[in-house]
Chain A
Amino acid sequence: MTCPRDIKVASSSRPTATRDRWSKPLRWSAALGLALTASCAQVATARHTSVYTSLSGADCTLVKENKETGATTHRCKGTGGWDLLVLYDDQRMSITVVQPDGREHPLNFWDVIARGYSSLGPRAEWRVTVSGTDRGQPTALIVRVNASEASENAAKKVVSYLVVSRLRGGMVCAIGRIPPAADANERAQRAADNATGAPCLAQ
């Protein structure tokens, strides 16, 4: 879609009384103009790129360990001042997002993705804006969660999901769980780039 740069739209500062006197065709064209402008603004700010960071090894620092049970928390460097806390406890993993100002947002994968055993993929994909005032800021996060969906003994079935979490434009939370598919990466990125307003995954 090509965005026209010179659409003339009636100013919303026009007094209400005057707006109310517009003819019906004029109101329709104004509404269309506003819609086009809003749509183009969305396209303009929806240009993203991916930044990948590690979820293990030397890029992460152990910040907490329960010696009795082996539960650990590692802090892993992210991008744009954001970090991730990688949580391991009782054969299950999750992530807590840390904003640049230090605020923490648990994504609770063990509630919303898998209640059984789980592990994370080696990297986090950050969807980052490439233009505008938020340039360089991440808007969404994609990580791989390998979920064991076996019920009891040996015959484990591990399903590898791409989990999409929103970082801006609403509450920080997981908003998508993409099952294995040839186009899973593209679907995850599309979900990440349209995460604003998407409902959080229910527990």
Chain B
Amino acid sequence: MATPAKSCLKALQDATGRWPNRNASADGIMGDAAHQARKSDHNDGNAFDLTHDPGHGVDCGVLSRKVINDARVTYVIWNREIYNRARAAEGWRKYDGANPHNHHMHVSIHAGSREDLAMWPWSSTTGHIPFLGQLRQGSTGAQVGIMQKRLADLGYVIKADNSFGIKTKATVMQFQRDRGMLADGVVGKKTWAVLMAGPAVRASGQPTFAR
């Protein structure tokens, strides 16, 4: 059974993180059961629709022109125009599908980019990186790598290898002690939020938090 790509989840969650009051009535990732037999990247969870709500900051006219530069993207549809990165030389072209796409922007991504949690053009430089599940000793994967990189950016001595080993656990416990939290070495929702909500990375690489 198909599941929503994490990068697509991040795209919408980051938009909500940046514009909390935005209208999300035309948002979507997973395809509707009624349309499973049709051709659509939504049916594989490899596309997202972002609601146009310029009154609350979400101007798809602007965002569509930025998001086409993201290597994860295959094509974008906005306001009766389509841009396909495989046909980049043609630029934005007239879109002849029946839906004018003037209430939402459609973004399709490569299947190989499903786990790629890099920033979207509207992602904040800190925070709004979605919590996708508890991390503890033994966990592996991209989310562990993001957490390790964030700790390293904050000045902790840690290697981002996507593997939550005993050294990572010790570093997480130190981070939790530094923040006055229960030092259990498990990254749950609260630890994740505190970790991601910290100040931006310092060029010096010095710890941001007093230790």
Q: Would A110 and B103 count as touching, CB distance under 8 A?
A: yes
Q: Specify which of A64, A87, A110, A152 lies most central, judged by the most chain B CB atoms within 10 Å of its CB.
A: A152
Task: Tell yes or no: A16 within 8 A of B by CB.
Answer: no
Q: Would B35 and A119 count as touching, CB distance under 8 A?
A: yes
Task: Tell yes or no: B72 within 8 A of A by CB.
Answer: no
Inter-chain contacts of B79 with A (CB < 8 A): none
Task: Tell yes or no: B149 within 8 A of A by CB.
Answer: no
Inter-chain contacts of A92 with B (CB < 8 A): 99
Inter-chain contacts of B27 with A (CB < 8 A): 116, 150-152
Inter-chain contacts of B99 with A (CB < 8 A): 71, 87, 89-90, 92, 94, 110
Inter-chain contacts of A13 with B (CB < 8 A): none
Nearest A residue (CB) for B86: A68
Q: Would B98 and A71 count as touching, CB distance under 8 A?
A: yes
In B27-74, which residues have CB < 8 Å from any A CB? 27-32, 34-35, 38-40, 42, 49, 51
Closest chain B CB from A139 CB (angstroms): 25
Report the count of interface residues on A (CB-CB < 8 A): 31
Inter-chain contacts of B13 with A (CB < 8 A): 152
Measured CA separation A73–B98 after assembly (Å):
8
Measured CA separation A92–B34 after assembly (Å):
10
The A/B interface has a contact count, at CB < 8 Å, of 93
Closest chain B CB from A177 CB (angstroms): 15
Task: Tell yes or no: B84 within 8 A of A by CB.
Answer: yes
Q: Would B32 and A152 count as touching, CB distance under 8 A?
A: no
Q: Would B106 and A90 count as touching, CB distance under 8 A?
A: yes
Closest chain A CB from B25 CB (angstroms): 5
Inter-chain contacts of A73 with B (CB < 8 A): 98
Closest chain A CB from B110 CB (angstroms): 15
Measured CA separation A90–B27 after assembly (Å):
11
Task: Tell yes or no: B9 within 8 A of A by CB.
Answer: yes
Q: B40 is contacted by which of A91, A111, A118, A148 (Cβ under 8 Å)? A: A91
Task: Tell yes or no: A12 within 8 A of B by CB.
Answer: no
Q: Would A90 and B51 count as touching, CB distance under 8 A?
A: no
Task: Tell yes or no: A88 within 8 A of B by CB.
Answer: yes
Q: Would A88 and B35 count as touching, CB distance under 8 A?
A: yes
Q: Would A148 and B28 count as touching, CB distance under 8 A?
A: yes
Closest chain A CB from B196 CB (angstroms): 19
Closest chain B CB from A75 CB (angstroms): 13
When each residue 113-128 of chain A gets 1 if its CB lies under 8 Å from chain B and 0 otherwise, what string results?
0011111000000000
Inter-chain contacts of A117 with B (CB < 8 A): 28, 31-32, 35
Task: Tell yes or no: A15 within 8 A of B by CB.
Answer: no
When each residue 61-90 of chain A gets 1 if its CB lies under 8 Å from chain B and 0 otherwise, what string results?
000101011111100000000000001111
Q: B77 is contacted by which of A88, A90, A94, A153 (Cβ under 8 Å)? A: A90
Nearest A residue (CB) for B15: A152
Task: Tell yes or no: B104 within 8 A of A by CB.
Answer: yes
Q: A115 is contacted by which of B96, B97, B103 (Cβ under 8 Å)? A: B103
Closest chain A CB from B24 CB (angstroms): 4
Inter-chain contacts of B95 with A (CB < 8 A): 66, 69
Measured CA separation A149–B24 after assembly (Å):
10
Measured CA separation A149–B27 after assembly (Å):
9
Task: Tell yes or no: B109 within 8 A of A by CB.
Answer: no
In A135-154, which residues have CB < 8 Å from any B CB? 146, 148-154
Measured CA separation A64–B77 after assembly (Å):
18
Q: Tell whether A115 pairs with B25 under 8 Å between CB atoms, given A68-B84, A70-B38.
A: yes
Q: Tell whether A94 pairs with B28 under 8 Å between CB atoms, given A70-B38, A119-B35, A152-B16.
A: no
Measured CA separation A117–B30 after assembly (Å):
10
Nearest A residue (CB) for B16: A152
Measured CA separation A94–B104 after assembly (Å):
16
| 6 A/B residue pairs, CB under 8 Å, sorted by A | A91-B35, A91-B49, A92-B99, A115-B104, A117-B28, A153-B9
On A, residues with C-beta under 8 Å from B are 64, 66, 68-73, 87-92, 94, 96, 110-111, 115-119, 146, 148-154
